[in-house]
Amino acid sequence: MGKLFSAKNKEVFSAPISMNNPVTVQVLGICSALAVTSKLEPAIVMGLSVTIITAFSNVVISLIRKTIPNRIRIIVQLVVVAALVTIVSEFLKAFAYDVSVQLSVYVGLIITNCILMGRLEAFAMANGPWESCLDGIGNGLGYAKILVIVAFIRELLGSGTLLGYNILNYDAVKEAGYVNNGLMLMPPMALIIVACIIWYQRAKHKELQEND
Amino acid sequence: MNALRKYLDRIKPNFEEGGKYHAFRSVFDGFETFLFVPNTTSKTGTHIHDAIDSKRIMSFVVIALMPALLFGMYNVGYQHFHATGAEGGFWEMFLYGFLAVLPKIIVSYVVGLGIEFVVAQWKKEEIQEGFLVSGMLIPMIVPVDCPLWMLAVAVAFSVIFAKEVFGGTGMNIFNPALVTRAFLFFAYPASMSGDAVWVSGESIFGLGGDKFIDGFSGATPLGVAKVAECPAFSWDMVTGLMPGSIGETSVIAIAIGAAILLWSGVASWKTMLSVFVGGALMGMVFNAWGPDTAIARMPWYEHLCLGGFCFGAVFMATDPVTSSRTENGKFVYGFLIGAMAIIIRVLNPGYPEGMMLAILLMNIFAPLIDYVVVENNISRRAKRAVSNN
């Protein structure tokens, strides 16, 4: 067990969640972060889906990494990812149909998510299955974390609800003059919130700032 | 003036490094340079020395805004008294409008300047004077019924995200006043558009009536043209006695402001003129070949009088920071703003006004226009140099 959770493996797992976050530091996967974060529920489902797909595709590619011919490795990776995306998509349709409708094409578009291909190319092709699995889960959770923060702010301020439960839409609140902010439901605001998270993180951790 | 200077000199040490009010250094510095032109001058490079600095330029713009603001206050009262059927003379109408508009001006300045003070203090810079104008523009481009807390949120958003993150005054890509309005427009559409927000229906300190008379519609002429039919031209469209955002209605008051801006050289006549030319031409194009809707059939001169067209052309498009800086580029920039404003008005299905979005859109393209103009100039001169040799 000691080897499985060595300091290096812990680093592989935890770095993408905080200091090497795929969204805020590497600025990958922004498109879906804008598209699915207007409500909290689809954002959580999307984050989990990406986590599962990244973890499994990392493991699969890592297992066959020595037999993949270098020239066609991208195609092989795509086939693995596509198969997993299809499984997750069908699973969602079967057991969480409403969310699957809300996510619409974005589940299918996980295949083009830069985080996935990035992890496969950069990590799974060069590391063993266990490290790759940790790396995949870490990156997926790092992505999910940002999605959930953004969706929390957007749903609370934009619709006045959280996970569909009413938080702010009471008559007393309305009489006080409060109105939900419609801009929060539009994609530009997701970008601004992601930018604020990046701003906060870089202000707090000076080592993330580029020298200019 | 001397007494004031002496007083400032006397309290100045308190604000310097180690003084007891050091935390308010930027506030003091801002007031001092606002009241007195600073004595420091550039030591290197070639500079033109002039009595005008950016604080003085901003003051000119604020002075130019005064006619439109004062008329806007009167018009707020005028619309209110007519809509509620209350009796009142000129001064009562003006006082009502003054009391309705003043809180917006205060909120706009307190929030905006507050953020500027904090940022200046934090970055150890001088307070930048840009908000002097934005803070006055913002209350003039919102409807009279816009709630104050929405205004405060929008001003904070705009000062932080449209201005300070780009580096403060002079570095912003978008006009902060228009970003404020755009934020309000998209975030709280029910309070920023439609027929119910342009005329205030509540009495203030017992002034005016508190209920609209039966059959009253607070729709702006553009709003009417969008959903029903094009209103006939009337002189109210020029004098400004019609519903609309606080400062935008009167062509005459804005023309006085334009004269002040042009006389003082703060705004460029090229931008201003080409906005009107662009709008007029586009209006004529729609009159001749446009779709069969009321707003497309609206005569071009009505397009120019109504809505925020004049206000945007005079005070927003000419903003020296966000407009094109090359002289030829100003013609292109202005023309496209005018044309785009009419296109958005006529062709979009949702809202009747297009000036705000047209100017914001062209703000993005201003650097591109400048780049093309400069590159053109370089290649033309290069060709000339070759042919002369």
CA–CA distance, A58 with A55 (Å, rounded to integer): 5
The size of the A-B interface in CB pairs under 8 A is 19
| A166 backbone dihedrals φ, ψ, rounded to 5° | -70, 130
Nearest 5°: CA angle at B226, between B310 and B346? 65
State the number of CA atoms in the 13 A half-sphere of B262 facing the CB: 13
State yes or no: pLDDT of A32 exceeds 70. yes
Give the Å distances, CA to CA, from A105 to A29, B266, B347. Answer: 15, 52, 30
- Residues of chain A in contact with residue B149, where contact means CB-CB under 8 angstroms, are 177
Q: A51 near A147, Cβ under 8 Å?
A: no
Against a cut of 0.90, is the pTM above it? no
B189: contact with A, CB 8 A cutoff: yes
Mean pLDDT score across all residues of chain B: 84
pLDDT at A56: 92
> Residues in chain B, how many?
389
B148 at the A interface (CB within 8 A)?
no
Pairwise CB contact (< 8 Å): B188 & A182: yes
- φ/ψ region of B124 (left if φ > 0, alpha if ψ in -120 to 50, else beta) reads left
Banded pLDDT at A212 (limits 50, 70, 90): low
Q: What is d(CA A144, CA A110) in angstroms, rounded to the nearest whole number?
A: 13
Beta strands in A50-169 (DSSP E): 161-162, 165-166
Distant-in-sequence, close-in-space partners of B149: CB < 8 Å, separation ≥ 6: A177
pLDDT at A13: 83
- Residue B51 burial (CB count, 10 A): 6
How many secondary structure helices (H) and strands (E) does chain A include?
10, 2
pLDDT tens for A97-130 read 888 888 878 888 888 888 888 888 888 888 888 9
Distance CA A23, CA B127 (A): 35
Q: Do A184 and B186 touch (CB under 8 A)?
A: no
SS3 assignment, position A165: strand
Closest CA to A146 of A16, A9, A11: A16
Per-residue confidence (pLDDT) for residue A186, from 0 to 100: 87
Q: pLDDT value at position B226?
A: 73
Higher pLDDT, A198 or B237: A198
The greatest distance separating any two alpha carbons of chain B, rounded to the nearest whole angstrom, comes to: 81
pLDDT of residue B259: 93
Backbone angles phi, psi at B204, to 5 degrees: -115, 120
How high is the pLDDT of residue B372? 95
- Rounded to the nearest integer, the mean pLDDT of chain A is 86
Say if residues B372 and B352 touch (Cβ distance below 8 Å): no
CB contact under 8 A, B187 and A184: yes
User: Tokens 């407009």 sit at which residue?
Assistant: B323
Contact A84, A49 (CB under 8 A): no
Minimal Cβ distance to A192: which of B153, B161, B188: B161
Contact call for B191 and A181, based on CB within 8 A: no
- Contact yes or no for B321/B130 (Cβ under 8 A): yes
**Which single residue is written with the structure tokens 């699915």?**
A36
- Residue B145 sits at φ, ψ, to 5 deg, of -90, 5
Q: Which two tokens stand for residue A94?
A: 């079967």
Give the pLDDT confidence score for residue A152 in this predicted structure: 92
Query: Within a 10 A sphere around the Cβ of B135, how many other Cβ atoms?
Result: 25
Best CA proximity match to B139, nearest among B185, B180, B87, B92: B180
* Chain-chain contact of B191 with A192 (C-beta, under 8 angstroms): no
pLDDT recorded at residue A188: 87
Positions in chain B whose pLDDT score sits under 50? none
Q: Which tokens in the block code for residue A91?
A: 């699973």
Contacting B with CB below 8 Å, chain A residues are 177, 179, 181-184, 186, 192
Picking from A179, A183, A186, the nearest residue to B190 by CB comes out as: A179
The 10s digit of each residue's pLDDT in A161-196 is 888 788 777 877 777 778 888 888 888 889 999 999
- In angstroms, the CA B129 to CA B277 distance is 32
Judge contact between B327 and B273, C-beta under 8 A: no
Higher pLDDT, B341 or A34: B341
| pLDDT band with cut points at 50, 70 and 90 for residue A144 | very high
Task: Classify B204 as helix, strand or coil.
Answer: strand
pLDDT for residue B270: 92
Interface of B with A in 149-178 (CB under 8 A): 149-150, 153, 161
* pLDDT at position B220: 79
